[in-house]
Amino acid sequence: KAGVTQTPRYLIKTRGQQVTLSCSPISGHRSVSWYQQTPGQGLQFLFEYFSETQRNKGNFPGRFSGRQFSNSRSEMNVSTLELGDSALYLCASSSRRGGYNSPLHFGNGTRLTVT
Amino acid sequence: AQTVTQSQPEMSVQEAETVTLSCTYDTSESDYYLFWYKQPPSRQMILVIRQEAYKQQNATENRFSVNFQKAAKSFSLKISDSQLGDAAMYFCAYSFTGNQFYFGTGTSLTVIP
């Protein structure tokens, strides 16, 4: 079974631009979560999508948004990029069977650099 | 608020020896899940072990085991017979609802040959 696939692996953008990151979950997984990882803040939860609906949202500004498609693939968008948005963005999928005890399966991440 | 604390930014262990990584968490929930994830230089987070809070028995996965102390809100990871491939960043994580996980800041483990 293929793992979680994130594209692209690396991105360099300029302040003020917008960016879209893509995530394909493990086949059969309907939950997709996004996390931002930085050296100073560690891993912080952005949001979770399940069956095309946003279920949970972390404490991030509205510039961060996402969506999920009917095939469970998810995209994350960041508008009006700031230098502080430079980070590793991790996508994770889960089967969400039986409630909240399903572990997360992570992709390799997208390294975003904002200059 | 849920917080996860890993007080050891860096640890090292001799190959074949045992090392314990510490984690404490803060929660008012009674039913929740705890996890240890490993992140090697390849960046992919890999699940090492998980523990259900309602289970008193400590989880074990081969060379990895946990010491779960619910009253103390402590969840340490013991790695026995350490191998070079165990070198990575280790994150402790907590989850109680949906798939929102709270992660600690990580412990960087070095394995010395």
Please report which confidence band the pLDDT of residue A85 belongs to, taking 50, 70 and 90 as the band edges: very high
Contact predicate B19/B36, CB 8 Å = no
Q: Do A43 and B42 touch (CB under 8 A)?
A: no
Q: What percent of chain A has pLDDT over 90?
A: 77
Read off the pLDDT of residues B32-47 as tens digits, 9 standing for 90 and up.
889 999 999 888 899 9
pLDDT, average across residues B72-76? 96
pLDDT, average across residues B54-69? 93
Give the whole-angstrom CA distance, residue A23 versus residue A5.
6
Identify the pLDDT of residue A37: 95
Q: How many CB atoms lie within 10 A of CB A40?
A: 7
- In terms of Cα–Cα distance, which of B75, B80, B40, B43 is closest to B59? B75
The one-letter amino acid code at B94 reads Y
Residues of B in contact with A42 (CB under 8 A): 91, 103-106
Read off the pLDDT of residues A40-53 as tens digits, 9 standing for 90 and up.
888 999 999 988 99
Identify the pLDDT of residue A98: 42
The enclosing domain of B99 has a CATH number of 2.60.40.10
Give the whole-angstrom CA distance, residue A13 versus residue A11.
6
* Interface contact A24, partner B, CB < 8 A: no
pLDDT, average across residues B10-36? 94
Residues of A in contact with B101 (CB under 8 A): 33, 35, 43, 45, 104
Residues linked to residue B102 through DSSP beta bridges, in sequence order: B94
Please give the residue range of the domain that contains residue B95: 3-112
How many domains, chain B?
1
Q: How many CB atoms lie within 10 A of CB B15?
A: 13
- In terms of Cα–Cα distance, which of A43, A85, A42, A91 is closest to A66? A91
Query: What's the distance, CA A114 to chain centroid?
Result: 17
- How close, in Å, is residue A52 to chain B by CA atoms? 15
